[in-house]
């Protein structure tokens, strides 16, 4: 059974999709962030491993969090693209996505994230670009 989307969240800044998947922010400052997820049955694909879309979503949150930590007041960001390499399957335990800002210009930032699983095993490696805009456009 899936968790309720409107379930109380300890961190309202991550939004309802994070609550649905069980993604939690553990740190976010100075162009870096860490987001985690405890693997549950509803994260699995038909082959018994964590669905790639779940890992992608964890990465997207971590990258967005890292960039958000260095945005100026009135700025926001949106994902332009993410390239992810899935290295080994994740089947249980906790997943931890660590992301950081590689480069930032006025309107575009390049990000990197690594997802680790049990025994600190590298599960996925991702790069992405994010658009930076002011709240007015």
The reported pLDDT for the residue numbered 6 is: 45
Q: Would 75 be classed as within a structural domain?
A: yes
Q: Would 125 be classed as within a structural domain?
A: yes
Q: What is the CATH number of the domain that holds 39?
A: 3.10.129.10
- Residue span of the structural domain in which 27 resides: 12-134
Q: Would 5 be classed as within a structural domain?
A: no
The reported pLDDT for the residue numbered 11 is: 65
Q: Would 60 be classed as within a structural domain?
A: yes
Sequential DSSP letters for 1-18: -PPPTTS--S-GGG-HHH
Q: Would 45 be classed as within a structural domain?
A: yes
Sequential DSSP letters for 59-73: HHHHHHHHHHTTPPT
Q: Would 48 be classed as within a structural domain?
A: yes
The pTM (predicted TM-score) of the whole model is 0.91
Number of domains in the chain: 1
Question: pLDDT tens across 10-52, in order?
Answer: 565 678 999 999 999 999 999 999 999 999 999 999 999 999 9
- Over residues 66-70, the mean pLDDT reads 97
Question: pLDDT tens across 83-122, in order?
Answer: 999 999 999 999 999 999 999 999 999 999 999 999 999 9
Q: Would 44 be classed as within a structural domain?
A: yes
């Amino acid at each position: 059974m899936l968790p309720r989307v409107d379930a109380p969240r300890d961190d309202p800044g991550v939004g309802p999709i994070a609550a649905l998947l069980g993604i939690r922010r553990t740190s976010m400052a100075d162009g870096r962030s860490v987001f985690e997820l405890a693997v549950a049955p509803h994260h699995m694909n038909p082959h018994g491993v964590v669905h790639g879309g779940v890992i992608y979503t964890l990465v997207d949150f971590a990258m967005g969090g890292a960039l958000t930590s260095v945005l100026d007041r009135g700025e926001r960001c949106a994902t332009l693209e993410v390239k992810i390499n899935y290295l080994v399957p994740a089947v249980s335990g906790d997943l931890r996505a660590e992301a950081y800002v590689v480069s930032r210009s006025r309107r575009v930032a390049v990000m990197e994230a690594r997802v680790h699983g049990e025994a600190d095993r590298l599960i996925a490696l991702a790069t992405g670009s994010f658009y930076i805009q002011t709240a007015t456009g």
